[in-house]
Amino acid sequence: MVTVTLVSTFKRLNDDRTLAVKPNAASREREAIVDVTYGGSENYSTGGNTVDFSGLRQFSKVYAVDFLARSKGLLADFVPGTNDDAATGKIKLFGVDPGAAGGAIVALPELPDTSTETNSLVLRCRIRGV
């Protein structure tokens, strides 16, 4: 199971309740620093694993995720859910088997379905939404 938790080190940012209105925006944007943690037996699913940010500070929409740190050397990408729904976005992961690349520089392919590279993976992220 993929879990999401607020990072207590960033208490001031995560507890910012001012939620200032941004210029030219009709809603109040906010951000939080979170850890996305894959379970010890959580395998990768082609197209990305669903991640639910809706339980954090009542986010209803998440439209941007910056990956700040990773516990493994994988490239991560966020695919927002339909209408930026906070509960249905996906994290796609990319990597390459160095042996398969033959020492060449290659574009990173998406991890294969059921890959175990995600087991116990931790991604520190900055999420942005409303």
List pLDDT tens digits, range 61-76: 999 999 999 999 899 9
φ, ψ for residue 50, nearest 5 deg: -70, 135
Using an 8 Å Cβ cutoff, are 55 and 121 in contact? no
CB contact at 8 A, 30 and 86: no
The C-alpha atoms of residue 109 and residue 92 are separated, in whole angstroms, by: 10
Is the pLDDT assigned to residue 19 strictly greater than 50?
A: no
CA 74, distance to chain mean position in Å, is: 12
Neighbours of 69 (CB within 10 A): 9
- What pTM did the predictor assign? 0.81
Cα(66)–Cα(64) distance, rounded to whole angstroms?
A: 7
Q: pLDDT by residue (tens digit) across 26-42?
A: 557 888 999 999 999 99
Mean of per-residue pLDDT scores for the chain:
86
Distance separating alpha carbons of residues 100 and 107, to the nearest angstrom = 12
